[in-house]
Amino acid sequence: MIKETFLKRREILHTRFMPIQNKFIFAEFRDCKIVEDIDEYLAESVASGCEGLMVKTLEHNSTYEPDKRTFKWLKVKKDYLASAGGDSVDAVIVGAFHGVGKRKGF
């Protein structure tokens, strides 16, 4: 199913599995078309005690890629919004190593 869109994968899971009380439930979700809807859902999520949201595209560019970090899934937390896109860090670079393996050069 990794080549299927996220929308199709979710549809398959919801038709093949049934929730079992106190054992198995589906994650809550909301399909949003505009940024304001995501902002509203984030506020609700934080108010209910969650850290934030995982934002995913439904159809365009939404296949699953195991073992890869991509921008197909974005973590949105209230802390990220307060600091304009991420946690702030005060640092001075005193040296660097280009690395080896699949992360070489990053």
- Is 18 inside any structural domain? yes
Question: What domain range is 33 assigned to?
Answer: 6-103
- Is 87 inside any structural domain? yes
User: Given this model, what pLDDT does residue 105 score?
Assistant: 66
Tell me the CATH number at 45: 3.30.1490
- pTM to 2 decimal places: 0.66
User: Given this model, what pLDDT does residue 24 score?
Assistant: 94
User: Given this model, what pLDDT does residue 88 score?
Assistant: 61
> Which positions of the chain have pLDDT values less than 50?
none
- Is 32 inside any structural domain? yes
User: Given this model, what pLDDT does residue 14 score?
Assistant: 96
- Is 1 inside any structural domain? no
- Is 94 inside any structural domain? yes
Contacts 24+ apart (CB under 8 A), 42-50: 42/76, 42/78, 42/81, 46/78
User: Given this model, what pLDDT does residue 106 score?
Assistant: 60
The domain total for the chain is 1
- Is 29 inside any structural domain? yes
